[in-house]
Amino acid sequence: MGWKGAAEPVLTRMPAVRRPEGHVPFKRKLAWTAGILVLYFFLTNVALLGLDQGEATDLFGQFRAILAGEFGSILQVGIGPIVTASIVLQLLGGTNLLGLDTDDPRDQVLYQGLQKLLVVVMTALTAIPMVFAGGFLPVQGSLSLGGLALDSTGVQLLLFVQIFVGGILLLYMDEVVSKWGVGSGIGLFIIAGVSQRLVAGFLSLSEEGFFYSWFQILTGRTDLDPIAGGAGLYQLVVTEGQLLALATTVLIFAIVVYAESVRIEIPLSHARVKGARGRFPVKLIYASVLPMILVRAVQANVQFLGQILNSQWGMPAWLGVYSEGQPVSGFFYYVAPIYSREEWLWWTAQVTQEWWQVLIRIGIDVAVMVGGGAIFAIFWVETTDMGPEATAKQIQNSGMQIPGFRQNVGVVEKVMERYIPQVTVIGGALVGLLAVAANMLGTIGSVTGTGLLLAVSITYKLYEEIAEEQMMEMHPMMRNMFGKE
């Protein structure tokens, strides 16, 4: 008996959100999406019972904008387990170690069940070291719950259960959006988290708020050094005035929107309906920016491992030296992504490392983001039926063909192979490079460049999906052509 036969009784019984039996009206999809979004914001404000918030440490601090969720809430782990499970499945599927045919309905059920099982396992593996190792989530001590007295170990178990339940809730919230709503739950949660931080960055009534800072400057409540000496100019552009962060934020918006509009359009014509023509767009960011989440998730897991090793057993200096919970030298320092200007401006007092150490770290970060972006973009395209072969079959099934070429799947596939693989690699590498540059310059609200990049691109994709849904709502025949019925 192969692994599929042995695992089938378990994988086929994994709870799943029921698929809609027919067409879901657009308004109902919006209602489901809005409802899940409201539930997400509600859960991010449900604090973990028994946690000592003042002493807790967020292991995903710099990655929080990408992994969503909220530190100290029931959604502590965010979408990390879902993304990690997706990485494992993509690697196994890309090397064909699973032996699953996604065109076979039985194998589709096994694949989805295996993905859920992996998310459950990853949620537990993420929550266990957070709660039981290193004192990252310290408890308040004993706790009385409904007349039941819990000692510190009992409170730790309670914390673990809450975090575990929150991770599973996110899994099924994502599934509800994917089947009954618009877009994907993962993208929706990232947009929600980044938007919240961005709005707070502009409107916060503290020194971190952009408008408040400028109100303080214009009213003379913030003393600036002389502009002529350069120090005052640095304060206006980089620190108090945040003009560089504003420029980076606006620039990311502009570049992403422009990159999303750059495309190669392959002409199509209907094989039976004369005069019916269309175009298949191969965008510059063909694989979207979601593969970038996979790259950052790998980096987050590496840093998470370093934190655990350092807190539990210590490590040799070449592997990593930590100060205030952050690596300052060694392997884990060099592979840590750069998320702010303060981490690479080696001529300032904020950076204690030598200039060559900082340059090595920048070089590794660029190589990982550019190379990883290209590699995961390829995996993403192949596993989401966006590759040349799958695209050719979709065009053939819709009754369309490329003018001047025979109506044959193999012929259409060869045409697609001229564009899709190259554009996928270029787009993935470009997104990685843009993310590193944005992180190094900084953004409004400490969103991180990668988080803002993801949010803008996902929002643009969501806008396109909403426009497509509205078009198919007005023209029901389009649903058959796009296979949405």
Residue 48, judged by CB atoms within 10 A of its CB (0-12, 13-18, 19+), counts as: buried
Same domain for 284 and 173:
no
pLDDT number for residue 260: 82
What would the DSSP string read from start to end of 109-161?
HHHHHHHHHHHHHHHHHHHHHHHHSTTSS-B-S-EEETTEEE-HHHHHHHHHH
Same domain for 379 and 279:
yes
Same domain for 331 and 460:
yes
Residue 11 belongs to a domain: no
Residue 357 belongs to a domain: yes
- Answer whether 209's CB lies under 8 Å from 202's CB: yes
Same domain for 163 and 312:
no
CA distances from 287 to 41, 281, 380, 427 (A): 28, 12, 7, 7
Residue 206 belongs to a domain: no
Residue 224 belongs to a domain: no
Same domain for 278 and 136:
no
Same domain for 178 and 45:
yes
Residue 168 belongs to a domain: yes
Per residue in 16-44, pLDDT (tens digit) is: 888 888 878 888 999 999 999 999 999 99
What would the DSSP string read from start to end of 168-235?
HHHHHHHHHHHHHSSS-HHHHHHHHHHHHHHHHHHH-SSTT-HHHHHHHHHTT-S----STTSHHHHH
pLDDT number for residue 267: 86
Report the distance separating Cα 20 and Cα 12, nearest Å: 19
Close Cβ partners of 204 (under 8 Å, ≥ 6 residues apart):
212, 445
Same domain for 253 and 178:
no
List the CATH number of the domain containing 56: 1.10.3370.10
Residue 230 belongs to a domain: no
User: 3-class SS at 336?
Assistant: coil
Report the distance separating Cα 458 and Cα 288, nearest Å: 8
**Residue at a domain's end among 182, 215, 245:** 182
pLDDT number for residue 271: 66
pLDDT in tens, the chain (485 residues): 577 778 888 888 888 888 888 878 888 999 999 999 999 999 999 999 888 887 787 877 777 877 888 888 999 999 889 988 887 887 777 667 777 776 778 888 888 888 899 999 999 998 998 888 767 888 877 777 777 778 888 888 999 999 999 999 999 999 999 999 988 888 899 898 888 888 888 988 887 889 998 998 888 888 777 776 667 787 888 778 888 889 888 988 888 888 888 888 888 887 666 666 778 888 888 887 778 888 888 888 898 888 888 887 778 888 988 887 789 999 999 999 988 888 888 877 778 888 899 999 999 999 999 999 999 888 888 877 788 888 888 888 877 788 877 778 888 889 889 899 999 999 999 989 988 888 888 888 778 778 888 888 888 888 888 887 777 666 555 555 445 54
Residue 221 belongs to a domain: no
CA distances from 433 to 41, 222, 367, 381, 405 (A): 31, 36, 9, 19, 37
**What is the number of structural domains in the chain?**
2
- The chain-wide mean pLDDT, for the chain, equals 84
Residue 214, judged by CB atoms within 10 A of its CB (0-12, 13-18, 19+), counts as: middle
Q: Which residue's entry shows tokens 């592979």?
A: 335
Report the distance separating Cα 14 and Cα 300, nearest Å: 28
pLDDT number for residue 276: 66
pLDDT number for residue 474: 63
**Residue at a domain's end among 150, 182, 214:** 182
Write b or e for each residue in 396-407: b if 16 or more Cβ atoms lie within 10 A of its Cβ, otherwise e.
bebbbbbeeeee
Terminal Cα distance for the chain, rounded: 37
Residue 202 belongs to a domain: no
Same domain for 143 and 64:
yes
Report the distance separating Cα 175 and Cα 169, nearest Å: 10
Report the distance separating Cα 164 and Cα 126, nearest Å: 9
**DSSP run (H or E) holding 264:** strand 263-270
Same domain for 398 and 249:
yes
- Residues facing 279 on adjacent strands: 267
Based on C-alpha coordinates, what's the Rg of the chain? 25
Q: How far is CA 255 from the centre of its chain?
A: 19
DSSP 238: T
- The number of residues in the chain equals 485
pLDDT number for residue 475: 58
**Residue at a domain's end among 117, 147, 182:** 182
Report the distance separating Cα 217 and Cα 238, nearest Å: 14
The domain in which residue 98 lies consists of 26-182
Close Cβ partners of 334 (under 8 Å, ≥ 6 residues apart):
357, 360, 361, 364
Strands 277-283 and 143-145: unpaired
φ/ψ (deg, to 5) at 112: -65, -40
Residue 412, judged by CB atoms within 10 A of its CB (0-12, 13-18, 19+), counts as: buried
